[in-house]
Amino acid sequence: MCSLHAQLLRRLAGLKAPKMSAHLFLSVLVNPTNSSESHKSAIVFPGQGSQFPGMARELFEQSLDARALLTQANDILGFSLTDIMFGGSEEDLRRTDVTQPAIFVHSVAQFVARPDLQPAMTAGHSLGEFSALVAAGVLRFEDALPLVARRAQAMQAACEEQPGTMAAILGLDDATVERICQEITDAGAVVVAANYNCPGQLVISGSAEGVAKACEALKAAGAKRALPLPVGGAFHSPLMQSAAAALAEAIEKTTFGEARCPVYQNVDALPHSSPAEIKANLLRQLTAPVRWTQLVQQMAADGATEFVECGPGKVLQGLVKKIVPTAVLG
What stretches of 79-207 show up as alpha helix (H) in DSSP? 81-87, 90-94, 96-112, 128-135, 141-161, 174-186
Distance CA 156, CA 208 (A): 16
How many CB atoms within 10 Å of residue 298? 18
Among 236, 237, 242, 272, the active-site one is: 236
How many CB atoms within 10 Å of residue 98? 20
Phi and psi (nearest 5°) for 123? -160, 160
Question: What order of strands is seen across the sheet that includes strand 41-45?
Answer: 271-272, 263-264, 119-124, 41-45, 306-309
126 in catalytic set:
yes
Question: Counting runs of H as helices and runs of E as strands, what totals does the chain give?
Answer: 15, 9
| CA R_g for the chain | 19
Distance CA 99, CA 47 (A): 10
Distance CA 134, CA 108 (A): 7
Among 41, 50, 126, 205, the active-site one is: 126
Catalytically active residues, by annotation: 126, 236
